[in-house]
Amino acid sequence: MKPVVIIPSYWTDAIREIEESKPGSYDHATDIKGTAELDDCLKSLQQVAGLEQVIILLVALPGVEEEARARVEEICARYPSVPSLIVDSRFSRILSERLSGYLDQVDGEAIALRGYGAIKNLGLCVASILGHDLVIFLDDDEIVLSEEFLIDAVYGLGQVTVEGDPVVAKSGYYYDSRNSPYAQLRHAKWYNKRWSKREEFNAWMNEAQSGPRISRSNILCGGCFALHAEVYTNVAFDPWITRGEDLDYLINLRLYGYEVWFDNKWAVKHMPPRHRSSAPRFMQNVYRWIYEYKKLEYANIQIDLNQVTAQSLMPYPGPWVSDDLKSRITQTALMRSIGTSEKKAYFDIYTKGIKRATEYAEANTSKYVEFQKIWPDLVKELWGDVELSQALLDLQKSPDPHEHKTDEDNDAHSIDIDI
């Protein structure tokens, strides 16, 4: 196999106010003037045997990219044994022009450095251009724990289970700051009773940890995830889900006849930054889960897709795509508007936010199925493209500060169980 490690890296600055409640805002962005988790991530990759290529997808707020690129180049220079390539908006524009015949058919940005799913799709396109038959996604706030990281990543891939199912997509898992793969259980306050996922997540994780090394998965840890070309050239990430694109990808794979498998011997350490407030994050999850529910509702009436039900996703994340989702959201928003210090924010979600999220979902849930129709041909055309590969290599230098800017430039410590 020819593996590539792909690391999306999100950058901002302290001056800019991030609209955390806006769909698709990035909650793990690094301050260009602050400590960069990417440094520790690349440092940990030095030990990995057989490391051939690392792709860093540089995602930056408008006006920050040049400084962010300089920071990333500086970090990469500290670890010359880690073969890194940086993908920024310049290459994204080149790729968009190359794919215009396909992307003109798409309503929205499906392959870009904006939006969690579109960013992952860009990474898959780069892997195709460079001819990598194995993609391993890693987050920049994670630390690789063993020199056998890639050996563990490829374990079982390409094989067939005793039931005859191919293993072409595989998830590892995260250790948190306590060196535990489990969500830390706390007594849920009365206004959080209907929004806690920890017990369901731990119930699933306990079963997976106590079973065979490779088992069918209900979760997908997007920062410890391996994909064979057989699957990533056929199934794309959903650009219209505002967050939770990794667990959504597991659902996409099931819709199109694939499974994600869980490896209970493959893990990384996850050290995410703390979130500044809870109401905006809750709003993000309102968008996410309503979209997921509506998407499954739409997909399950399509005659050419496999059925994916809430029951098939028990004990987690099934409850979050069940018919009681709306009551779960409305009750939590209302109770938090009474019991927390962010009363107004939660009341706004209760009175307006749920409606906005529902309208967003209803307007967008059919788009992924349409995009999927062109994805296999699109990736096939990119595979091993010499011209695009050379263009990527030619861009491995700092951006020219006088380079013409396009409209795209001007727009835009516990287990995180939002997987």
pLDDT(284) > 60:
yes
Residue 164 has a pLDDT of 84
Residue 240: CATH number of its domain? 3.90.550.10
Residues 137, 222 contacting (CB under 8 angstroms): yes
pTM of the model as a whole: 0.92
Residue 161 lies in a domain: yes
What does the pLDDT look like over 159-201, one tens digit per residue? Answer: 888 888 899 999 999 998 888 999 888 777 889 889 888 888 9
pLDDT digits (tens, 9 = 90+) for 205-262: 999 999 999 999 999 999 999 999 999 999 999 999 999 999 999 999 999 999 999 9
Quick check: is 265 in a domain?
Answer: yes
pLDDT at 125: 98
Question: Is a pLDDT exceeding 50 seen at residue 24?
Answer: no
Q: Could you report the per-residue pLDDT of 34-71, keeping only the tens digit for each?
A: 888 999 999 999 999 999 999 999 999 878 899 999 99
Residue 296 lies in a domain: no
Quick check: is 45 in a domain? yes
SS3 (DSSP) at 318: helix
Residue 414 has a pLDDT of 46
Read off the pLDDT band of 273 (50, 70, 90). Answer: confident
Residue 229's SS3 state is helix
State the pLDDT at residue 418: 59
pLDDT tens, position by position, 375-410: 999 999 999 999 999 999 999 875 554 344 444 443
Residue 50 belongs to some domain of the structure: yes
How far is the C-alpha of 113 from the C-alpha of 60, rounded, in Å?
Answer: 8
Condensed to tens digits (0 to 9), the pLDDT of residues 315-352 reads: 999 999 999 999 999 999 999 999 999 999 999 999 99
The per-residue pLDDT for 34 is 84
Q: Specify the pLDDT at position 325.
A: 96
pLDDT at res. 73: 95
Domain hosting residue 228, numbered range: 3-183+198-274+367-393
Cβ count within 10 A of residue 389? 15
pLDDT at residue 22 is higher than 60: no
Helix then strand then coil, % of the chain, to nearest 5: 45, 15, 45
Give me the pLDDT at residue 412, please: 35
Number of domains in the chain: 1
Nearest-angstrom CA–CA distance, 68 and 49: 29
How far is residue 166's CA from residue 156's CA, in Å, rounded to a whole number? 10
pLDDT at 57: 97
Structural domain contains residue 347 = no
Confidence of residue 417 (pLDDT cuts 50, 70, 90): low
Q: Which residue has the higher pLDDT, 62 or 117?
A: 117
What local confidence, expressed as pLDDT, does residue 31 receive?
Answer: 86
Assigned token pair, 43 = 């440092």
**Alpha helical stretches, state H, 340-406:** 343-348, 354-364, 367-372, 375-382, 386-394
Residue partners of 278: CB distance under 8 A and separation at least 6: 336, 340, 342
Distance of CA 77 to the CA centre of its chain: 26
Confidence check: pLDDT of 356 > 60: yes
pLDDT at 362: 96
CA torsion, ordered 321, 324, 330, 335, to nearest 10 deg: -110
356 domain residue, yes or no = no
Q: What is residue 25's predicted lDDT score, i.e. its pLDDT?
A: 57
* Over residues 109-118, mean pLDDT: 94
Confidence of residue 12 (pLDDT cuts 50, 70, 90): confident
**Structure tokens belonging to residue 230:** 């057989």
The CB-side HSE value for 165 (13 A sphere, CA atoms) comes to: 15
CA angle 132, 138, 140 (to 5 degrees): 130
Question: How confident is the model at residue 405, as a pLDDT?
Answer: 42
